[in-house]
Amino acid sequence: MMMRKNTLITKIIALAASVFLFSTCVFAREVWTDEQAKQWIAKQKYRAGVNYIPSYAVNQIELWQKETFDIKTIDREFALMRATGFNAVRVFLSDLVFESNPDGFMERFEEFLKTADKYGIGTMVVFFTNGGTDDAKLGKQVVPSQSHNPGWKKQPSYLILGDKSKWGILEKFVKTVVGKYAKDPRVICWDIFNEPDNIKSLHIVGGAKNLSDDRIKHLKRCCLDLIRESAEWARSCDPQQPVTFGLYKYKGGEEEKIFNPLQISQSDVISYHTYAPLIDHIRIIKKIMKHTSKPIMCTEWMGRIRGSTFNPILSFHKNNNIWSFPFGFVAGKTQTWRPWPNDDTPEMQGIWFHDIYKSDHTPYCPEEVEYIRRILGK
């Protein structure tokens, strides 16, 4: 009888906590105006960091699940990051790990934030992504093959993305995390949905090759709806940090015409991706500035094979107060130093695509690291 009573009390406490959380996330603030966004950026220190996946993890699941989460490795890599001059990370969370044990996930995320803050590193959070393969599962993850980013996973899975009746867990995911950290200065930005129209993820080995045209169209409509709804979920918690949805299509076509205006309209600050040379960054920024004067961040770049290099792009970002997040840091299980499949040619052998340091923390290119340190004033 006592055991039943304790179980009932535990359920009541859990329910009360859930009610409290969602009661704090009900008065959605508006998207910032251009002027509000400018006022916000004027109060911030300049941020430059990396898209971060610890060297021990092949994907977001291995990063966050209890069995593999390794704060000691993260601590060592944050120390190296700070010594290099970086003061920010962009990190992908995992809806699957959160759903399996919200409390455990939140405890590990708090450890991550504390460790980043110890080194003066702010955290940009990503909830959803269409990058990767659509076969995410908990437990032991794939053993890396000899290819670029072989274990990266889409989140949510297309089974959930394509069925709005299953979006309750996605709403809980966003509101739980944003609700707890909406006023926490250790979080510097909420980057809600990475590459929302990147349904087939062609640069990832595997991708989503077997989708029919009708399925792709349905999933893209769902992505548009998830942009709208997830923006509302995040802003319902009245975050002091900006919400953003990164642009990455700039060459015309249906995706740019449909997705980009919505992503801009739902973003407090504007973010973009490109793995192209500096001239393309300039072209993209000019294109964005035709629609808005809000501050701009570059949340993915740096692919040496494609001419996207630290020198001169990092200097350009710093001089124009564009927050800068190149891809990769320490070479690890993601194997993102390897080229994208289309760039895997004999003449490019030996040239690293992403990442800055080898597994022993020596630089891939010492001159490159010296350049980063000089530009960032370290």
Number of domains the chain contains? 1
What does pTM read for this prediction?
A: 0.92
The answer to whether position 2 is within a domain reads no
d(CA 295, CA 245): 13
Residue 162 lies in a domain: yes
CB 89 within 8 A of CB 50: yes
Residue 314 covered by a domain:
yes
Q: Distance of alpha carbon 158 from its chain centroid, rounded?
A: 18
On whether residue 293 sits in a domain, the answer given is yes
Determine, yes or no, domain membership for 197. Answer: yes
Residue 257 lies in a domain: yes
Q: For residues 325 and 330, what is the distance between their CA atoms, to the nearest angstrom?
A: 14
Range of the domain at 316: 46-375
Say which CATH number the domain at 353 has. Answer: 3.20.20.80
**Cα–Cα separations (whole angstroms), residue 317 to 12, 78, 272:** 51, 22, 12
Domain-located, residue 32: no
213-235 and 254-265 helices cross at what angle (nearest 10)? Answer: 10
Indicate whether 212 belongs to any domain: yes
Residue 284 and residue 260 in contact, taking contact as beta carbons nearer than 8 Å: no
Q: From first to last of its 378 residues, what are the pLDDT tens digits of the chain?
A: 544 445 444 444 444 444 445 556 877 899 999 999 999 999 999 999 999 999 999 999 999 999 999 999 999 999 999 999 999 999 999 999 999 999 999 999 999 999 999 999 999 999 999 988 899 999 999 988 889 999 999 999 999 999 999 999 999 999 999 999 999 999 999 999 999 988 876 655 555 567 888 999 999 999 999 999 999 999 999 999 999 999 998 878 878 899 999 999 999 999 999 999 999 999 999 999 999 999 999 999 999 999 999 999 999 999 999 999 999 999 999 999 999 988 888 878 889 999 999 999 999 999 999 999 999 996
